[in-house]
Structure 1
Amino acid sequence: METLKGKIALVTGGNSGIGYAAAKELKAQGAEVIITGRRKEAIDKAAAELGVTGMIADQGQVSAIEELAAQVKDQYGKIDILFINAGVLELTTIENATEAAFDNVIGVNFKGAYFTLSKLIPLLNDGASVVFLSSNTASTSGANSSIYSSSKAALNSIMKIAAVELAPRKIRVNSVSPGPIKTEIMNKVGFDEQQLKDVTEWMIGRIPLRQIGKAEDVGKMVAYFCGEAASFITGAEIIMDGGMSLKA
């Protein structure tokens, strides 16, 4: 059903994983979709596959976010849906953390997300929907995840304050917090094949539903937040982790 027909949606980090799945679902429900990413080749390929518009933008650079906002304003004027999805993952103990790792994760996941919202608020139509991609790690205390978890906890805080600030314009702001999802992000951490297998088995062992989540499921939840059925929901965090956080 094209429940989002006539809506214009912007998905950051839309060339792969959850962003790609969300863009596909939003388009299937009738929205006109724009995806962003850092690499032109990847964005062009994803945009062609999805039948959407691709724009190059590094969400870790405020100047690039400002350029993106100007480009969106010039081509579309206003948008109705903003899915702030772009993010990076680095795992390290607190003792061994480097400034470079800290700046990379916080720069994209927190600072980048913050200013993506900040710079695009003027382009949001009244009644628009904003969705942050957070993580169930925002409310758990796993070893080696201090920087990443902190960045996602910060997102949930921004989400709630933005929900209050934007409520007078009937703009709803929510977040989706997945647990382990089958995407390329784990491969980018640097695990070899055996390490990835071991980590996957460890995660499944902690999930009551005994499975890794699918990006498509998260995409459907993002689309739900953007539709009429969620018109009275704002400032909410939905945890999608197969019950993993219940055992944390």
Structure 2
Amino acid sequence: MQRFSGKSVVITGGSSGIGLAAARRIVEEGGSVLVTGSNSARLESVRDQIPGVHLLVNDAAKPEAAEALAEEAARLFGKIDGLFLNAGVGAGAPLGMISADLYRNLMDVNVGGPLFATQALAPVLRDGGSILVTASIAKDKGMEASALYSATKGAVRSMVRGFARELAPRQIRVNTLSPGPIRTDFFNRLGLPEEHAATIEEHMAASTPLGRMGTAEEAAAVALFLLSDEASYVTGSDYFVDGGTAQL
């Protein structure tokens, strides 16, 4: 299946996890991909994993980075066919421990990132293209110590509805992907001991109706559907990849 033959896609936060899995699949299906990340060493490792991938060190927390990303996408591709805004930060804190710095960081990356990226890259996106933004089931679940994080993902869902309405005249579709318990290197990046991370994953897996963690590849498969022409009549929607956690 070559759904992305001759097409170009920009993926933010694509140096690991769901973004990396999506980039790999798009290239395998004939597409060209520009991947961004804020960690230059981790981003550079993508070059060895995906032949021909384009890379850009880009910090989603900075509004000016969105303009730089749009300029690079236009330089490489002229116009793009898809935009997967996957860059985000996950951090929790209970009441009494939510600092102003944490608030600014989560809002700047999780809300400001997709907001300014959509604004900057919409003119570079072909009419009939697709935008996908990563949200989370945290916006739908009451989770301890996650009020701030959940709020940022709730904002993402609301923004996407607005973007979808505004870009509909250009036949540009805008949707959200809401992952649940997906096995990535998230806990490793937090610096948690391996044994502690394994315990958390076991608890998360047991709490899902399907009784297991999902994989980045399973989430990427849904992302690719939404980015492809197969989802040509889907916009303003929210697709859950969570083993039923938020629904059952």
**Does TM, normalized by the shorter one, top 0.5?**
yes
Residue 154 of structure 1 corresponds to 155
Q: TM-score, normalised by structure 1?
A: 0.96
Higher mean displacement: 69-78 or 233-242: 69-78
Tell me how far 1:229 sits from its aligned partner: 1.8
Structure 2 partner of 1:38: 38
Equivalent in the alignment of 1:176 = 177
Report SS of the residue matched to 1:245.
Answer: coil
Could you say which residue in structure 2 is the equivalent of 1:119?
A: 120
- Counterpart Cα distance in 1 of 2:171 and 2:80: 14
State the partner residue of 1:106: 107
1:95 aligned counterpart, secondary structure: coil
Q: Which amino acid aligns with 1:53?
A: H
Counterpart amino acid of residue 243 in structure 2: G
CA distance in 1, matches of 2:186, 2:100: 21
Deviation (angstroms), 1:190 = 4.0
Number of aligned pairs? 247
Asked whether the equivalents of residues 15 and 47 of structure 1 are also in contact (C-alpha less than 8 Å), the reply is no
Query: Residues 125-183 of structure 1: CA distance to partner in whole angstroms, max 9, x if unpaired?
Result: 00000001111111111011111111111111111111110000000001110101111
Matches within 5 A, 1:200-211: 200-211=201-212
Which aligned runs of 4 or more in structure 1 are off by greater than 6 angstroms? none
- Amino acid aligned to 1:153: G
CA distance in 2, matches of 1:220, 1:89: 22
Report what 1:81 is aligned to.
82
Q: CA RMSD in A?
A: 1.2
Alignment deviations for residues 35-71 of structure 1 (CA, whole Å, 9 cap, x no partner): 0111222222203321211111111111122112112
Structure 1: give runs of 5+ residues left out of the alignment: none
The residue number in structure 2 matching 1:13 is 13
Paired with 1:161 and 1:63, the residues of 2 have a C-alpha distance of 22
Identity level (%): 34
Over 3 Å counting, the alpha-carbon distance change for 1:188 and 1:41 in structure 2 is closer
The letter of the residue matching 1:191 is L
